[in-house]
Amino acid sequence: MANKRRIKIIGTGFYVPDQILTNADLEKMVDTTDEWIVSRSGIRERRIASAEQATSDLCLEAARRALKNSHLSVKDIDLILVSNNTPDTLFPATACWVQQGLQADHVPAFDVVAGCTGFLYGMIVAESLILSGTARRVLLIGGETLSKITNWKDRNTCVLFGDGAGAAILEESKDDSGMLSFYWKADGSLANLLLMPAGGTRNPASLQTVAENLHYLHMKGNEVFKHAVKRMGEAAEEALKRAGLTKDDIDIFIPHQANIRIIDAVGERLKIPKEKVFVNIDRYGNVSVACIPIAIHELRQQKKIKPGTIIVLDAFGAGFTWASVVYRW
């Protein structure tokens, strides 16, 4: 493994909006309780974007912080990738709005849309582009304003989601650190279990689609839960196998922060001690593609990552998509 070329993270940053929506606030909005929300999801509060903030605004701030963290300027970036499921506009890509905000003239920019798995898909795409010589340094951002597509009258979904963005800057590693392996898959036959039904070409916006609440996120939670646990477990196991490692080698496990029950179930399936499993869902809720980059930055801030730390990143999302990355710091 020492001779294998790989990519590494050289800087991170994240941004969440100032507004905090607590479970107590939700008790005033829908028929729910703090106890019910915590027991079923593990969430106590989440951040909500202002009416003026779009996904690109959150991504832009996360990107600026990642550049500062890595002591780089916009001129040092060769490509901008933005993973999201809540774009500013269907076109142009949210990455282009971020490019405009950064004033990164003529740098290629495009979106990676793969449900909550999007940040890991983005890492895998970035690896190919960097190791092929197409791009030397990639700015990868995962950002969402899920509050904009949440039905705040649906007690089953409105308690789950939050807004935020996380960013990482990637380049080729010069040592043994970096992305050791990955595993990624998808199953479009299950797409109807988690989707926003209208707004695309299948169901273009109309008075009827608005009246029927089809521009909000729709999810069959129990079905999603079962598939998520199975596929996240499978992805982590296969990625470890490809890296030549075992579960015992894991120092930190960062699962997608969808639901504490999913996190616990995947941890139990993989037999990972709870103290090795990173959890911040209580503070941010499910921030989709932003979960993993936010987690990485927080762990760095808390100085819980040191050279040689083995981290497993694991995610599952709409599509369905799922992926896992094994990373040595």
Q: What is the mean pLDDT of each run of 10 residues along the chain (329 residues)?
A: 82 98 98 97 98 98 98 98 98 98 96 98 98 98 98 97 98 97 98 98 98 98 97 98 98 98 98 98 98 98 97 98 98
Exposure string for 291-329, b = 16+ CB within 10 A, e = fewer: bbbbbbbbbbeeeebeeeebbbbbbbbbbbbbbbbbbbb
Domain spanning 7-175: CATH 3.40.50.2300: no
Tell me how far apart the alpha carbons of residues 143 and 288 are, in angstroms, rounded to a whole number. Answer: 8
Mark whether 297 is an active-site residue. Answer: no
From the list 59, 256, 291, 297, the catalytic residue is 256
User: Containing H/E element for 105?
Assistant: none
Which CATH number does the domain 179-328 belong to among 3.40.47.10, 3.40.50.10440, 3.30.420.40, 3.30.70.270?
Answer: 3.40.47.10
* Per-residue confidence (pLDDT) for residue 240, from 0 to 100: 98
Pick the closest to residue 107 from 58, 83, 73 (CA basis): 73
Tell me how far apart the alpha carbons of residues 210 and 216 are, in angstroms, rounded to a whole number. Answer: 9
* Per-residue confidence (pLDDT) for residue 3, from 0 to 100: 63
- What are the sequence ranges of the domains in the chain? 7-175, 179-328
Where residue 115 falls (left for φ over 0; alpha for ψ -120 to 50; beta otherwise) is left
Q: Which two tokens stand for residue 104?
A: 């990164």
Total count of residues recorded for the chain: 329
Flag whether the pTM goes above 0.85.
yes
Tell me how far apart the alpha carbons of residues 260 and 279 are, in angstroms, rounded to a whole number. Answer: 8
From the list 158, 286, 291, 297, the catalytic residue is 286
* Per-residue confidence (pLDDT) for residue 84, from 0 to 100: 98
Mark whether 259 is an active-site residue. Answer: no
* Per-residue confidence (pLDDT) for residue 1, from 0 to 100: 40
From the list 59, 96, 116, 158, the catalytic residue is 116
In CATH terms, are 7-175 and 179-328 the same topology? yes
The bridge status of strand 163-172 relative to strand 310-317 is: unpaired
